[in-house]
A and B are shown apart, each in its own frame.
Chain A
Amino acid sequence: MISKKRTWLDIIIIAIALVISALLIGLKFLPSEGDLTLSVISEGGESEYSLSENREIELMSNGISLIIRIENSSAYILSSECPNGICMKQGRAKRAGDTVVCAPAGVALIIKSGGVSHGDAVAG
């Protein structure tokens, strides 16, 4: 029926469980950086882009035309016809939660993470 003493298979089962969990943890931490996506919000709504491939996105919002560039896993506003041009000086968004906003055009670049969610909302 069942052995009353510890057997080799017991040890193997424990080892298997630990190995599987170690593998799962390893898998989870490896691609976490590659999981980032760029979400672009404009007058026309929200659209998502992968941060892994370099490209330029042209768009028109509130009558202002902008060019957004994705480069080396970061995104920034390359050019904008907005009056003050502050958006071009905001630097690059590359980490989860980073944002670049062009207020006159109503455009925002937000880096989103596919990782674990931090509760219902994040303050800060």
Chain B
Amino acid sequence: MAMRLQVKENKVRILVRCALLLCIAMVLSYLENILVLRFALLPFMKIGLANIIVTLAFFELSTSEAFAVSSMRVIIMGVLFGSMISFFYSAMGAFFAFGGLFLSKWLGKRVSYIGTSVICACLHNLGQAVVAALFFGLRVASFCLPYLLIFGAVFGTFTGILLNFISQKYKKVISK
């Protein structure tokens, strides 16, 4: 369905829509940096607000748009605010989370955005743990992992509830 839509759609329209989504995602990302930095137990632990946009784009628009938004966000945020290591964290996190999107697509109607968000958040954190293992050794990563999973479940539920709500209203904001 998504592919068919794309062919029909105006290219400029898609580009502008992507840019708009990217902007929102980056603002959310930035907001989250400010919010979470003070309370974070672990480096780069996030609520995953930006993932709201990516998930929405993935299910309501198209895979490629979601991918573009996700990766450009990671790259631009990395260039603007991050160090190499923090970029590596968020890139791996985003990459894993994207895998989670495909997984819940496969689950189809059986899950809502809540399940999807939890899957993505956990996988996102798992991806970060993989990076932690690369840099600091398996010991540190295995210490962090359970907490990362808990946070994934909690914040995933939170963003999922938000998403369930937004997905019914988004057409007012971003029309297809």
Residue numbers of A with Cβ under 8 A of B are: 1-7, 9-10, 13-14, 17-18, 20-22, 24-25, 28, 114-117
Contacts and interface: CB of A to CB of B under 8 A. Distances in A.
Contacts, number: 88
Interface of B: 1, 59, 104-105, 107-116, 118-119, 122, 139-140, 142-143, 145-147, 149-150, 152-153, 156-157, 160, 164, 167-168
Chain B interface mostly helix, strand, loop or mixed?
Answer: helix
B109 A10 contact: no
A24 B145 contact: yes
A17 B152 contact: yes
Contacts of B150: 17-18, 21
B109 A17 contact: no
A112 to B, nearest CB: 13
A6 B164 contact: yes
Contact of B104 (A2, A14, A114, A117): A2
A114 B139 CA distance: 9
Contacts of B167: 4
Contact of A14 (B1, B142, B157): B157
A6 B112 contact: yes
B159 to A, nearest CB: 12
10 tightest Cβ-Cβ pairs between the two chains A and B? A21-B149, A24-B146, A10-B115, A17-B153, A10-B114, A21-B146, A3-B112, A13-B115, A25-B146, A21-B150
A117 B140 contact: yes
